[in-house]
Structure 1
Amino acid sequence: MNIAVFLDRQGQVAPLTAPGTVTLFSREHGRWQIVQKIAFDLSSCTSLDVFRERTLAMLAQLPACRHFVTRDVHGAPRAWFDGLGLTLWQCTGAPEPALDTIAQQPVAPEAVTLPPQAFVRSGAELGEFYVDLIAARQAGADDIHTAKLLLVPLLGRAEFTRLELRCDHVPKWFARLADYHLQYHSTPLDDGTLRVVVTKTAS
């Protein structure tokens, strides 16, 4: 199990309104080990666009992580994290008690285990991508976390311009894309599936 915890310089759980480090913990041989650290700072964000870029870039570096621990999170950050399928936990102090509590929760099905390349293709132009979410689901993955694992890294790329999806429904968290300068439209296909295209909104 991988759990991300937002820590301050003293190693205590920190609020997202302050600079800190996203620390990824993994339990090995009955002990929690730090496997990754990512500097993260939303305190200087001046627009939703900057917030989106920083958040997506950070989440793209968290492999198979469904849990995020912070001291305090409200508003746009909570909505965005929730929409991407992360379970948010709030606590204070040292991270170890929170890690043990989360680890005792019922285990959800694992996210897709096939490599992302099995479902993602590059488009004709730089920054264009095609993702087959139906194929990913048929491989045994659950919808919410498949979308998170496959789409978030693509949307967070600096060169991103267009994303086309094959799916049977629009992911619920797409309702918030407009808040992050992204837009989408869907087209029903003859086989009963949908073609959904995501692009950046005009500046």
Structure 2
Amino acid sequence: MKIAAHVDENGTPLPLTRKGRVQLYDNDEGAWRLVGEFPFELPGDGSLGPLRASLNALARRLGDWRVLLSGEVRGFAYSYLQDQFGVRPWRSDGALVAQLTAVAAAEEKRAAEACACPSGDSPSSCGGCGGARSTVVPMGGPGVRPVDRLDGSRSFDLIAAMAVDSRLNSRLALMPLLTEEPFRPIEIRLDHRPRWFARDLDELGLTFTEETRDGALFITVTAEGGDTP
């Protein structure tokens, strides 16, 4: 098992927004070995361009390490790493070695559950290990995912997504959809426009219109110069 950990000088996991070091651990020989490390801290000005560039650089330096132990697991940075690069963030408590062991056990359980099939079915027939299955977990939890439309656009119910998963916030749920390439126009149902929305969409080169229907706010996001569906 290979696990990366973003930690301070005492080995305590830190959020990516705080200055620390990313340490690369491997336990292929039965014990955790530190095989590499490098300093890391996300830019603090909140601008989306530098943030994405920093995360892209981090993903390249992680290489084969696709499990990240950190002091936080929520927010755009973690969602972006998971959605774009398949990096799975984890947070635990206790001494670093104990946390690495706990995360490794949780990863093994996650993998086993991903392979599970109904009784009598083989993994290849039900889409478990060895079969065709998506490696990207849709934001918002089971049953709440973007809906494809015939014209190529999509719709997404943020109100329903956040009702299903209380851990979500608007940025965590929406940014993977807004930064997906190629971008497709999307209509979002929500109860209010988030404070970050207009600024971040401007940085992404996106524009939006909004209207109120049936007591909810509907925002349609398109690329600048694109056609509104």
The alignment's TM-score, normalised by the length of structure 1, stands at 0.53
Contact 2:179–2:204 under 8 Å retained in 1: no
Shift of the alpha carbon at 1:72? 1.6
Q: Which position in structure 1 is the counterpart of 2:63?
A: 63
Contact 1:25–1:34 under 8 Å retained in 2: yes
Unaligned segments of structure 1, at least 5 residues? 110-139, 146-172, 186-199
Report the secondary structure of 2:32's partner residue: strand
Q: Which one has the largest radius of gyration? A: 2
Contact 1:80–1:176 under 8 Å retained in 2: no
Q: Which position in structure 1 is the counterpart of 2:18?
A: 18
1: distance between equivalents of 2:46 and 2:73?
A: 17
Unaligned segments of structure 2, at least 5 residues? 113-130, 137-174, 185-202, 206-229
Change in Cα spacing, 1:142 to 1:22, as seen in structure 2 (3 Å) is farther
Report the secondary structure of 1:99's partner residue: helix
Per chain length, whose mean CA-contact separation is higher, i.e. which structure has more relative contact order (CA < 8 Å, sep 6+)? 1
Moved more, 89-98 or 61-70: 89-98
1: distance between equivalents of 2:52 and 2:63?
A: 19
2: distance between equivalents of 1:11 and 1:25?
A: 12
Change in Cα spacing, 1:33 to 1:142, as seen in structure 2 (3 Å) is farther
Q: Among the aligned pairs, what percent are the same residue?
A: 26
Within-5 A mapping of 1:13-52: 13-52=13-52
2: distance between equivalents of 1:63 and 1:52?
A: 17
2: distance between equivalents of 1:70 and 1:14?
A: 5
Shift of the alpha carbon at 1:23? 0.8
| Deviation digits for residues 67-92 of structure 1 (CA, Å, limit 9, x no counterpart) | 11111232211321231322211124
Shift of the alpha carbon at 1:8? 0.6
Q: Which position in structure 2 is the counterpart of 1:126?
A: none
Q: Which position in structure 2 is the counterpart of 1:175?
A: 177
Report the secondary structure of 1:13's partner residue: coil
| Deviation digits for residues 121-142 of structure 1 (CA, Å, limit 9, x no counterpart) | xxxxxxxxxxxxxxxxxxx997
Contact 2:14–2:71 under 8 Å retained in 1: yes
Letter in 1 for 2:62: L
Letter in 2 for 1:28: D
Moved over 6 A (4+): none
Letter in 1 for 2:92: C
| Deviation digits for residues 5-51 of structure 1 (CA, Å, limit 9, x no counterpart) | 11012221112221011111001321101112121111524411111
Contact 1:5–1:24 under 8 Å retained in 2: yes
The alignment's TM-score, normalised by the length of structure 2, stands at 0.48
Report the secondary structure of 1:36's partner residue: strand
Contact 2:15–2:72 under 8 Å retained in 1: yes
1: distance between equivalents of 2:36 and 2:178?
A: 29
Shift of the alpha carbon at 1:183? 5.1
Change in Cα spacing, 1:141 to 1:65, as seen in structure 2 (3 Å) is farther
Equivalenced residue count is 133
Letter in 1 for 2:6: F
2: distance between equivalents of 1:25 and 1:141?
A: 30
2: distance between equivalents of 1:11 and 1:44?
A: 22
Richer in strand (by share): 1
CA RMSD in angstroms comes to 3.4
